[in-house]
Amino acid sequence: MLIGLGLLFAPNGMLRLLQSNGEYGNVFPRVAGMLMSGLGLSIFGMIRARSSAQYPATLFIRVYFIGCLGVCPDLD
């Protein structure tokens, strides 16, 4: 969640901190930060509410994201 907030509010600084050497503009890092922080906040809310029935759904979402990253073609 912290990396997501960093990308959302200070994308250039966070990308330097993450040792990125690419130029992504301002939109992509902010959208990625929005998605990462939103997912982190929703998982935090589930844990805080002790909604253990939804924990497998959070694991499925993470596996889905990793699968999408693995399948998506490189756009360079």
**The two structure tokens encoding residue 7:** 């990308």
Question: Which residues are within 8 A (CB) of 12 and not within 5 positions of it... i.e. 6 or more apart?
Answer: 29
Tens of pLDDT along the chain (76 residues)? Answer: 788 888 888 888 888 888 888 888 878 888 888 888 888 888 888 888 888 888 888 788 878 877 877 777 664 4
CA 72/CA 66 separation, integer angstroms: 10
Could you give the C-alpha distances from 9 to 5, 14, 37, 64, 72, in angstroms and in order? 6, 9, 11, 26, 27
CA 68/CA 10 separation, integer angstroms: 26
Tell me the pTM: 0.62
